[in-house]
Amino acid sequence: MEMIRITGVDKSFDEFKALTDLDLNVKKGSIYGLVGVNGAGKTTIIKHLTGILKPDYGQILIDDEPVYENIKLKEKMGFIPDDLYFFSTYNLKEMSRFYKSIYPGWDQVRFDFMIKQFSLDPVRKLSKFSKGMQKQAAFILTMSSKPEYLILDEPIDGLDPIIRKLVWKYIVEDVAEREMTVLVSSHNLRELEGICDSIGIISKGAMLLERDLDELKADVHKIQVAYKVHPDNPYAGLNVLHKETRGTVDLLIVRNRKEVVEEIINESKPAIFDILPLSLEEIFIYELGGENNELTEIIL
């Protein structure tokens, strides 16, 4: 069941086309990673999902309801933007009272526990917090509202490894225990690889690829092959995304099922044949055009 569904969305700002015929689907109780280079349209998508922007064309539905100007739906939604905003004179305790007044799912016990766990001072003005501490404060407030849908824009930027691990722990546990549905936009593919169920890659406002992560990993492989006598065209029948030769060894990235790769390569009787593990970063680079593709920019 799809809880978040974007269908055929277009959005322009004056003469600039920000989104073009964009589709996006997030299943209930899953974590969806949204990836793209700077300026690809990630934040514009998030602003549509949270009802800040209205599309020029197309539909944006959460649980089959339109998002724009839907107050009841927004009461179930948690959103942490990359550029945080707090009332300038408020401290964390005062902000908690504000959140409690607008989110019916507010959990005071969780809030009290989290501020101790994250070691934040509840009576210190939020404007005096560092950017990393402000991000932690936003996370505590959002997770204490017990959202059914969580939208995150670069949630772990500026956080140290221990805090990042704690943030992901809360998210994964809420997905498992409450079937919270999460969309997270990030440049950090290493982090997303460990927590996401599915991935969407956008470029220039269009969706290039949307796949389940396990399915994506099952279809793209790195192989190294060497022959005593190199046969003519031993890789016929394989979908080769990239090929290079290092001495007597051919290194290839192929998009096929593993059993197909093994069958075709073994027919040519190689002296060496290994299937090597591929990182999510490598899959994206080669799946979408090779080493010089623009998506290499997303790798930190």
Residue 297 has pLDDT above 70, yes or no: no
212 lies in some domain: no
281 lies in some domain: yes
Residues 7 and 74 grouped into a single domain: yes
Rounded to whole angstroms, how far apart are CA atoms 78 and 72? 13
Question: Of 181, 204, 227, which residue is a domain's last?
Answer: 204
- At 11-41, the pLDDT tens digits run 999 889 999 999 999 999 999 999 887 788 8
Band (201; pLDDT cuts 50, 70, 90): confident
Say which residue, 5 or 38, is predicted with more confidence: 5
Alpha-helical segments (H) within 118-223 = 131-144, 161-178, 189-195, 213-219
What is each CA distance from 78 to 105, 149, 229, in whole angstroms?
A: 11, 6, 60
Domain coverage including residue 100: 2-204
- At 263-287, the pLDDT tens digits run 999 999 999 999 987 887 887 777 6
211 lies in some domain: no
Percent of the chain with pLDDT over 70: 95
Residues 25 and 118 grouped into a single domain: yes
170 lies in some domain: yes
Residues 184 and 110 grouped into a single domain: yes
Residues 50 and 154 grouped into a single domain: yes
Residues 169 and 20 grouped into a single domain: yes
Residue 298 has pLDDT above 50, yes or no: no
- At 81-104, the pLDDT tens digits run 888 888 889 999 999 999 999 999
Mean per-residue pLDDT, 141-170: 92
Give pLDDT, residue 1.
60
Residues 281 and 176 grouped into a single domain: no
Q: Please report which helix (H) or strand (E) contains residue 92, including its range.
A: helix 92-102
Residue 240 has pLDDT above 70, yes or no: yes
Residues 293 and 176 grouped into a single domain: no
213 lies in some domain: no
Q: How many domains does the chain have?
A: 2
What spatial distance separates the first Cα and last Cα of the chain, rounded to whole Å?
A: 33
State residue 244 phi and psi, 5-degree precision. Answer: -145, 155
Band (288; pLDDT cuts 50, 70, 90): low
Give pLDDT, residue 138.
94
20 lies in some domain: yes
Band (296; pLDDT cuts 50, 70, 90): very low
- Any idea what the CATH number is for the domain that residue 8 is in? 3.40.50.300
Rounded to whole angstroms, how far apart are CA atoms 291 and 134? 37
Give pLDDT, residue 290.
53
Residues 86 and 152 grouped into a single domain: yes
Mean per-residue pLDDT, 167-183: 95
Residues 194 and 237 grouped into a single domain: no
Question: Of 148, 181, 204, which residue is a domain's last?
Answer: 204
Residues 252 and 277 grouped into a single domain: yes
